[in-house]
Amino acid sequence: MNQPSVLLKEVDRIEILTVIDNYVDVLLTNTRVVTRPPLSKGGDIPSDTLLAEHGLSLLVTVYQGKEKHTVLFDTGYSKIGVPHNLEQLKVDLSEVEAIVLSHGHMDHTGALDVILDKISGTIPLVLHPGAFAGPRFFGLADGRRLLFPQTLVKDELVNRNIELMERKTPTLLAREEIMVTGEVKRVTPFEKGLPNAVLERDGKIEKDPIVDDQALVVHLKGKGLVVIAGCSHAGIINTILYAQNLTGIEKVHAILGGFHLSGPYFEKIIEQTIGEFKRISPEVLVPMHCTGWKAIQQMSQEFPDAFVLNSVGSTITLS
């Protein structure tokens, strides 16, 4: 392992609350790692419920001694789901020290404006400058191009209550206890990004490598790295390798987030990804969002002790 280029401080405990994900199940039970939201409040089953959507939003809190720090990672797809769930989960947004966007796609940025409306004062917003790229399209086999919604407009954001932090390189938050990877180096031969993703630049259509894809990394004391991915367009294995390279820490304790293994194109690399996970040997594995049912099912079988089925409102506690 190379000498670290980023000095990431250790933490005693990490809590990752799923504000929104693709799946919700109110009947799941607690384990040693995950705490589910209560089915009832004061003995009564509530008339309202948590919402799921094709999106991701995670509240990440780190604890070191008597101090704690919280960041919000991604903001879901719609303007409804994340704000609704934040209220249901009684999240105090005044405790959020920064918002980090994994990349510029709409299923990770959709509720940003609504959340900023609910935050008093200015808050850092960390993203890769490529998140503003576009227009972005997804090409179909018949030649049509589907236009991605433009949910991030820089000229509009700079007038909001944010401190805009556009970074291609790693960023340390929470008193250097949470690292945003910045642009991930791509070295594996099998992780080749999103096929048919293109963007328009200077009036020309070109391939979109989604260079803005980034993740969060935390160093859990005595256990190793915790890697939290948004969509893993750079590849979840590339992301882990990059985290190890940046920090100089080889041991990976937990891997969470969207691994983007859904659909025929990505299902071809499920086995290779699982093979790499076996080599890395995480003690906690929590696939989310765009990982896909087939990959999640296989991971549950291959990693029976490490696997956690995620659901909206669940809190993963690592200590």
The predicted-structure confidence for 109-131, as pLDDT tens digits, reads as follows: 999 999 999 999 999 999 999 99
Q: How far apart are CA 69 and CA 124, in angstroms?
A: 14
Structure confidence at residue 3 (pLDDT): 74
Is residue 5 situated within a structural domain? no
**Looking at the 3D structure of the chain, how many domains does it have?**
1
Strands 145-147 vs 178-180: parallel, antiparallel or unpaired? unpaired
- Structural domain contains residue 21: yes
User: Pick from 180, 214, 220: which is nearest to 316 by CA?
Assistant: 220
- What whole-number distance in Å separates Cα of residue 45 and Cα of residue 49? 10
**What is the per-residue DSSP string for 50-87?**
----S--EEEEEEEETTEEEEEEE---SSSSHHHHHHH
Is residue 83 domain-resident? yes
Cα angle value 135/141/142 (rounded, 5°): 90
pLDDT for the residue numbered 2: 64
> Which of the residue ranges 9-18, 142-151, 263-272, 300-309 would you say has the lowest mean pLDDT?
142-151
**pLDDT, mean over the chain:** 96
Supply the range of the domain harboring residue 147.
Answer: 10-318
| Residues contacting 36, CB < 8 A, separation 6+ | 26, 28, 29, 30, 311, 313, 314
Residue 286 lies in a domain: yes
Is residue 86 included in any domain, yes or no? yes
Residue 240 domain flag: yes
Asked whether the predicted pLDDT for residue 42 surpasses 90, the reply is no
- DSSP run (H or E) holding 8: none
Q: What average pLDDT score do residues 19-35 get?
A: 96
Euclidean distance between CA atoms 113 and 182, whole angstroms: 23
Both tokens assigned to 209: 């490598």
| 51 located within any domain | yes
Domain with 41 in it: what CATH number?
Answer: 3.60.15.10
Q: Tell me if 3 is assigned to some domain.
A: no
- Judge residue 117's burial from the number of C-beta atoms within 10 Å of its C-beta, 0-12 exposed, 13-18 middle, 19 or more buried: exposed
Note the pLDDT of residue 1.
Answer: 57
In this prediction, residue 39 has a pLDDT band, given cuts at 50, 70 and 90, of: confident
Interval 180-222: pLDDT, tens = 999 999 999 999 999 999 999 989 999 999 999 999 999 999 9
3-state secondary structure 99-158: EECCCCCHHHHCCHHHHHHHCCCCEEEEECHHHHCCCEEEECCCCCEEECCCCCCHHHHC
Residue 222: CB atoms within 10 Å: 10
Region 68-95: mean pLDDT is 97
Q: Rg of the chain over CA atoms, in angstroms?
A: 19
Gap between the Cα atoms of 302 and 137, Å rounded: 35
The confidence score (pLDDT) of residue 287 equals: 98
Whether 97 contacts 70, CB under 8 Å: yes
